[in-house]
Amino acid sequence: MNWTQLLTDIAAIIAVSAPLIIATMGIYLSERAGVINLSVDGSMLLAGMTGFAVAYTTNSVVLGFVAAALVGGLIAALIAYLGVSLRISQTAIGFVLALLCTDLSSFLGNPYVQQTGPAVPAWSIPGLATIPVLGQLLFRHDAVIYLSLVLVPLIAWWMMRTRAGLIVRGLGERPDALFARGIDVIRWRYVMVIIGGVLIGLAGVAYTLDLKQGWTYRHIAGTGWIALAIVIFGAWRPWRILLGCYFFAALQTMASRLQDNTWQIPTQVLQVAPFVVMILVLAVVNSLGAPELQRWINRLPLPVRRMIRFLASPAPAALGQPFIQQ
């Protein structure tokens, strides 16, 4: 493999992972606030289909993105109402909505199958694009990919360095403590779930108007579940989630490369990898949290303990738990 080939590959990985990054950040925001949005796969399909349909009819990419954001936000608002206000099992409603939205996208999207619509235009950033190496890697893409590049640093900073971010982390860990300090837990959770849903919707339309342009039956089915897995793989930390997205995109690129040769491994086999890793991470992280092991870990020297704590950052403690106002 030569140098230019490698650069092209890395630039491709950065491009391909853009929708995944947007979706995982949406899931991250919602889960940090303590609410599981299990409908991601269906939400992305429905939002992606709607976005494509709107852009196709109006010939405006921007309107397509607005429509997709609305769809994602609306589904999330429904989840917030059912899961946060009515306190129905978030797993049950998320799962039903995932299936429902998938079928809805097939039904409503039927007239738009195989049509050619508008797409996000490529836009090299003037000046920056001419920088050797970096320019090719980062600055010769389009608006969606630039969004994916700035989203993670922005959200990481907001979550870890601002008061609002502190409140959101509290929502996922100790909502009762927040409530005692006069914070409206229910309203905050609504806001975070809806913002997350908007991002998930944008991720869906990022596929249909940009990276896998057009609409077909169950166009991008499966990516939502992958995004959910990557958030777990990233242990609910933004930078590790980003790493997970790039890792997964790299696996996919590698898979298609191997397929070109005589290997004959279908892409789908390598796509299994993130799920195996997800289960392993969950198993290791959660058993490290067990009291028996914790006692043993506490006897280890401090640097080792720090490293273990970094590797094993657990899920938000109140994830999926309904908040009952006392």
Q: Which residues bind another protein (CB under 8 A)?
A: 38, 82-83, 86-93, 95-97, 99-100, 102-104, 106-108, 110, 225, 228-229, 232, 264-266, 268-269, 271-272, 275-276, 278-279, 282-283, 286-287, 289-290, 321-322
CB 234 within 8 A of CB 241: yes
Take residue 65 and report the two structure tokens written for it. Answer: 């993105």
Interatomic CA distance for residues 48 and 109, integer angstroms: 10
Least gap, CB of 175 to another protein (angstroms): 14
Report the residue number, 78 or 183, with the smaller CB distance to another protein. Answer: 78
CB 178 within 8 A of CB 21: no
Report the residue number, 136 or 267, with the smaller CB distance to another protein. Answer: 267
Least gap, CB of 283 to another protein (angstroms): 4
Least gap, CB of 287 to another protein (angstroms): 5
DSSP secondary structure letters along 75-117 = HHHHHIIIIIIS---HHHHHHHHHHHHHHHHHHHHGGGTT---
Report the residue number, 154 or 293, with the smaller CB distance to another protein. Answer: 293
Report the residue number, 5 or 91, with the smaller CB distance to another protein. Answer: 91
Closest alpha carbon to 238 in 16, 18, 24: 24
Report the residue number, 160 or 257, with the smaller CB distance to another protein. Answer: 257
Least gap, CB of 6 to another protein (angstroms): 27
Least gap, CB of 308 to another protein (angstroms): 16
Report the residue number, 139 or 236, with the smaller CB distance to another protein. Answer: 236
> CA geometry: angle at 203 spanning 140 and 184, to 5°?
125
Least gap, CB of 49 to another protein (angstroms): 11
For 52, 257, 292, 303, 310, the CA distances from 295, given in Å and listed in that order, are 54, 47, 6, 16, 17
Backbone φ, ψ for residue 246 (5° rounding): -65, -40
